[in-house]
Amino acid sequence: MAAILTLATTSCAITTSASTNKTLGFHALQKPLLSFPNSSPKTHHCNLFSSSSTINKPNNPTNLSSLTTRKLLCKPPNGKHVREDYLVKKYSAEEIQELVRGDRSVPVILDFYATWCGPCILMAQELEMLAVEYEKDALFIKVDTDDEHEFARDMQVRGLPTLLFISPDPSKDAIRTEGLIPKQMIRDIITNEM
């Protein structure tokens, strides 16, 4: 069986011809057809703008339905997530103060960000990757400076993104960085300074 793909302006057709066993070359696809003369009952029309543009046959190698499923690699911790599958959680000022005052065995990394800040979005992607890497060895928290502007002012946040590294050891001072910094620098601070 040979399949011919015929393109129109808004739809596609896959025609199956049972009369020939030859595979037609590229020359059959060079000229798009706008009408479908002698269309057989085996012709399948589909919209190019729809989410599934393939025929749902079990042996169809171009079927994308198996590629659209997401696989969760690790279960996110409980808490208020920015999205349910994000590991970096968004906390309020009160929740952060309770967390910092309490006993903890891992460092806390506060990310002061804004939704309109381009470098903050890039930093958020790096922090997500680091949160997977340091899943049980560090706690990454986001603070939206538009929602928590008084807390950001009290913490003297002047530029975005600002990271604040708080050690579990109360005798160590917190470390502050401003601006977009590389992942390796964040790793070095967590490993060597906390």
- pLDDT tens string 146-190: 999 999 999 999 999 999 999 999 899 999 999 999 999 999 999
For residue 75, the model assigns a pLDDT of 55
For residue 71, the model assigns a pLDDT of 58
In a domain, 40, yes or no: no
Evaluate if pTM is beyond 0.85.
no
Strand order in the sheet with 139-144: 89-90, 139-144, 108-113, 162-166, 175-178
pLDDT at 139 over 60: yes
In a domain, 7, yes or no: no
Q: What is the mean pLDDT of residues 47-56?
A: 43
Q: What percent of the chain has pLDDT over 90?
A: 49
Prior bond to 161 cis, omega within 30? yes
In a domain, 11, yes or no: no
Tokens read off for 194: 């906390």
For residue 72, the model assigns a pLDDT of 57
Tokens read off for 130: 């680091």
pLDDT at 116 over 50: yes
| E strand or H helix at 188 | helix 183-188
For residue 54, the model assigns a pLDDT of 43
In a domain, 136, yes or no: yes
Residue 41: pLDDT band (50, 70, 90) is very low
Tokens read off for 19: 């009369």
Q: What is the mean pLDDT of residues 88-113?
A: 93
In a domain, 39, yes or no: no
| Sign of the dihedral defined by the CA atoms of residues 117, 158, 128, 143, in that order | negative
State how beta strands 89-90 and 139-144 pair.
parallel
Residue 163 contacts residue 174 (beta carbons within 8 Å): no
Neighbours of 128 (CB within 10 A): 16
For residue 168, the model assigns a pLDDT of 93
Q: Could you give phi then psi for residue 8, rounded to 5 degrees?
A: -120, -175
List residues with catalytic annotation. Answer: 117, 120
Number of domains, the chain: 1
Contacts of 93 (CB under 8 A, 6+ apart): 143, 148, 150, 151
For residue 68, the model assigns a pLDDT of 53
pLDDT at 145 over 90: yes
In a domain, 173, yes or no: yes
Higher pLDDT among residues 1 and 72, named by residue: 72
pLDDT at 44 over 60: no
Residue 25 contacts residue 32 (beta carbons within 8 Å): no
In a domain, 23, yes or no: no
| CATH number assigned to the domain comprising residue 107 | 3.40.30.10
In a domain, 46, yes or no: no
Q: What is the mean pLDDT of residues 125-141?
A: 94
Which residues form the domain of 176? 89-193
Calpha distance 153→125 (Å, rounded): 25
For residue 147, the model assigns a pLDDT of 94
pLDDT at 126 over 60: yes
